[in-house]
Structure 1
């Protein structure tokens, strides 16, 4: 099956559609390899990843349907940075490139991005890229306490990781020497390499099957078709400008986020002018991550049925003042950039509530309530020595009420990651979950109600204390209801001994006390 000038337009359309679906299956296979081979539970169990295929110009053509918007949409920009550092003509079969630069990757150091050129019969035809969250890359750890990016861990600039099939052992040794979990970190890095290799192999099989020498006509079709489809969606929308403001907890003081959204004939733009300057703690957001979640919010409301690629992204424009908390500049600390970054779909929905009230939900918990813990233990597996553990246990609050449906309880939106199973967490570290249940009634009231959060009670089986790297929000300023709906319940962080803990920062949980977490509920929609 191939593109052919003798085919009718309808036949050509069918051929392209079949190959487009097959290409999405290719990147789906790429993603499954990463998930199945990863060492970190946040990848293996929660699918905190991205995987996609790009054309030689760096345009994203297709993405795996699993993964997080923060990874996928910022990875879309990172491939362009790889091409600036490693021109196409310099790439060889068997090469692979790596970075975790927050400003050229996906927003913080814990995410490794690997890009691999795909050759077919000796010719470079595409690029595969993937991202995975690694549990520990040194420094202060994955929390917001650092005052610059240098404190947050190992930084890998744009480097060649694999040279024509030979792994850069010096670079790999440097990576392993700068983590508390060298085995996991090395294993995760190899899983990222392997998943791109699987994508290359699957693409070559696809090209053999369809009898094509290049995917360029297909990529042009996908990008052009997607762009036109989004433009049609925008053409049907009311035109104008709307604004929204949201107060979030911040670190030491609350922050007022501001957005202005404009729908015009040629696209939709969102400006965060007026948002506060970057702060001295690691909740700042690089612009690529700001764009990622803003565009995701726009796509959810305007073009949810159109696949993500360079064409469907092209008509959404995002900007934020240089040096602001939503466009932080190096060397600002950014480790917990998800706290504010994942609020941005709610900002978009707030702007769209006037022109599109039947499409957008009330505010939800939005930012993940990851329980990031660290310490030492001696597992019951015959190990002779005490070992270091470091784990991010993914948990969530309630989502905002929807126009015709209640919000979802204990569900990650907009990130989309899965919750870490209790059995996995208790196997990976000495914690024990004494309680994990829905926080009934925590969702805001309304014609449709917000989703409920969770109640968790966590202790340790160790004789030693464990560290909690808190990075929570919606504690002082809970998710707001809309159109007369009630607010969701605020989050709570405390211990069994009555200690009230701040929502951000390092806490020591003694072996004779338990951590109590109550995640927020989503806002309600409409007068009850």
Structure 2
């Protein structure tokens, strides 16, 4: 319940003002960013916090960052900078995964907000930088065996103190990355976003007073917690288990990595138990605990109510159990740059477990991974070194009442695609194909979303290619009679005498001018029996090229000549 001394209308106005501040910060960061992974793919988040590091509001960008930004800020305040060491004009930087960051390319920047001499909160941004050094362009080595191979590590330090730039730290960053103009440019975009947030937060506090806003924030947290708990109470109590696997860890090839969750619904809270997951991997697919928490928060939001405000109160309903030394709680310096694939698969597994508790509410399995492509080398357009990084989605599982979505980054990702026009304009690349992956969506009453096909040609010699992917031995599950989706694959120089099926995790492969990379991403599962699908929908799928003649005949028992 909302306290009697809090005006509910004013609480809504102030609460949504904070949301608007986070969204305005997001817009500022995107519009000033240098790299396509930020400017086009939107791989970043912005948020505002109270003076203790509790989340007040976050932009609707990347669910991977749910909870992790606030946990990182709290760690900084507890272990590195006390309140009396923080000043107006500071910007605190960190990217160390074992101090709260997701992986080394994700750089976080926090700026304190003062009203007069009183610290009232922080603005924060978390941004995926195209390169932070390490053994491979894009800082995405699929064969890393220790954290140090994944790029420059920055503990909590002041990039600015009292408004004065730390030129030494800027110089260190510049000397350790492959595209300093882009990395520093995106970093300054984060600074700009934080400054926008600071200005708006100051205006809000000055308009209503520090005490009024502080009281409202507390009530705002309680309101979200109350509504989440009410939704959980509607679920049937019990525990629900599901499991799956990653294809491998990139180092010990073709050795599946076991992932498992037991979710307990207990009165008004959800308990996520990941203690039966595999031991930490030699390769870079480990996940630090702050990022695993984001999976639990994301899944909880999916199965409750999306209209509930996203703030610290929403997290109080969730408990996460981890075991040290496992792939979801590794021991330093285990590598973590591929953690994205692990948490994507964990998200799918968690939803599968909850499908047992919430029948006919959970979509079928999705592609639950992302095919990342990183290229580095000489760019004749700029006569300088370049790094190109793209993240490719696939199919979203069919839903209980409609088809799944195609060619998207699902679950804790939510990144956009990099338009081929943008990539060709900036880099020595030519995109020859970009289309949906036919038949990759599992057939059913409702069809699973399709993966994508992408083919690009190298226009410059001596480029270095790294690819990170999974889901080539995993068929996304169909639900309630729906068929499984298809996995993906990667081929170099298809249809030529130099054709070569690539291993799903490639690091530092040298490619030459004229070489062609072709890949397919995974689809998703169907929902319900294919024989229950509306005939007109089947025919439209065939006419649109979503399904082949063979599928039309063998699965849906329709002869193309009869249409």
Classify the TM-score, shorter chain: over 0.9
* Corresponding residue number in structure 2 for 1:494: 491
* Corresponding residue number in structure 1 for 2:73: 79
CA offset digits 1:307-354 (Å, max 9, x no partner): 221100111111221111111121001111101112222111111111
Report deviation, 1:10. 9.2
* Corresponding residue number in structure 1 for 2:321: 319
Distance across 1 between alignment mates of 2:42 and 2:305: 24
Tell me if the contact between 1:125 and 1:215 (Cα under 8 Å) persists in the aligned partners. no
Tell me if the contact between 1:105 and 1:113 (Cα under 8 Å) persists in the aligned partners. no
Tell me if the contact between 1:113 and 1:132 (Cα under 8 Å) persists in the aligned partners. yes
**5 Å matches for 1:141-220?**
141-210=139-208, 215-220=213-218
* Corresponding residue number in structure 2 for 1:505: 506
Could you tell me which of 397, 405, 409 is aligned with 1:400? 397
Distance across 2 between alignment mates of 1:298 and 1:358: 17
CA offset digits 1:94-115 (Å, max 9, x no partner): 1111100112233210011011
* Corresponding residue number in structure 1 for 2:417: 419
* Corresponding residue number in structure 2 for 1:62: 57
Distance across 2 between alignment mates of 1:231 and 1:260: 19
Distance across 1 between alignment mates of 2:512 and 2:365: 35
Tell me if the contact between 1:298 and 1:348 (Cα under 8 Å) persists in the aligned partners. no
Greater shift in the superposed pair: 505-514 or 140-149 = 505-514
Tell me if the contact between 1:26 and 1:203 (Cα under 8 Å) persists in the aligned partners. yes
Distance across 2 between alignment mates of 1:275 and 1:425: 38
Report deviation, 1:9. 4.4
Report deviation, 1:122. 2.3
Q: Residues 11, 369 of structure 1: CA spacing in aligned structure 2 closer, same or farther, 3 A cutoff?
A: same
Report deviation, 1:227. 0.5
1:310 aligns with 2:307: no
Report deviation, 1:510. 3.1
Could you tell me which of 396, 406, 412 is aligned with 1:409? 406
Equivalent residues, number: 515
Distance across 1 between alignment mates of 2:327 and 2:524: 24
Distance across 1 between alignment mates of 2:62 and 2:73: 17
Tell me if the contact between 1:42 and 1:392 (Cα under 8 Å) persists in the aligned partners. yes
Could you tell me which of 467, 482, 486 is aligned with 1:485? 482
CA offset digits 1:78-103 (Å, max 9, x no partner): 11111111112221111111100112
TM-score by length of 2: 0.89
* Corresponding residue number in structure 1 for 2:466: 469
Q: Residues 262, 233 of structure 1: CA spacing in aligned structure 2 closer, same or farther, 3 A cutoff?
A: same
Q: Residues 375, 214 of structure 1: CA spacing in aligned structure 2 closer, same or farther, 3 A cutoff?
A: farther
Report deviation, 1:213. 5.5
Secondary structure of 1:260's match?
strand
**5 Å matches for 1:12-31?**
12-31=7-26
Report deviation, 1:210. 3.6
Distance across 2 between alignment mates of 1:59 and 1:487: 41
Q: Residues 361, 53 of structure 1: CA spacing in aligned structure 2 closer, same or farther, 3 A cutoff?
A: same
* Corresponding residue number in structure 2 for 1:102: 97
TM-score by length of 1: 0.94
Could you tell me which of 373, 376, 398 is aligned with 1:374? 376
Secondary structure of 2:392's match?
coil
Could you tell me which of 228, 239, 242 is aligned with 2:240? 242
Report deviation, 1:477. 1.2
Distance across 1 between alignment mates of 2:63 and 2:216: 24
Tell me if the contact between 2:115 and 2:206 (Cα under 8 Å) persists in the aligned partners. no
RMSD: 1.7
CA offset digits 1:159-195 (Å, max 9, x no partner): 1111100011101100100001111111111111121
Report deviation, 1:433. 0.4
1:430 aligns with 2:408: no
Tell me if the contact between 1:38 and 1:191 (Cα under 8 Å) persists in the aligned partners. yes
Tell me if the contact between 1:144 and 1:334 (Cα under 8 Å) persists in the aligned partners. no
Mind listing any 5+ residue stretches in structure 2 that lack a counterpart?
A: 531-563
Could you tell me which of 85, 89, 94 is aligned with 1:90? 85
Q: Residues 211, 270 of structure 1: CA spacing in aligned structure 2 closer, same or farther, 3 A cutoff?
A: closer
Could you tell me which of 359, 371, 389 is aligned with 2:361? 359
1:125 aligns with 2:150: no
CA offset digits 1:13-46 (Å, max 9, x no partner): 1111111111111111111111111112111111
Distance across 2 between alignment mates of 1:426 and 1:213: 53
Distance across 1 between alignment mates of 2:519 and 2:273: 35
Report deviation, 1:211. 5.1
Greater shift in the superposed pair: 19-28 or 101-110 = 101-110
Mind listing any 5+ residue stretches in structure 1 that lack a counterpart?
A: 1-7
* Corresponding residue number in structure 1 for 2:449: 451
Tell me if the contact between 1:96 and 1:163 (Cα under 8 Å) persists in the aligned partners. yes
Report deviation, 1:447. 1.7
* Corresponding residue number in structure 2 for 1:3: none
Secondary structure of 1:195's match?
helix
Report deviation, 1:498. 2.2
Distance across 2 between alignment mates of 1:120 and 1:10: 24
* Corresponding residue number in structure 1 for 2:279: 277
Tell me if the contact between 1:245 and 1:256 (Cα under 8 Å) persists in the aligned partners. yes
Distance across 1 between alignment mates of 2:292 and 2:35: 25
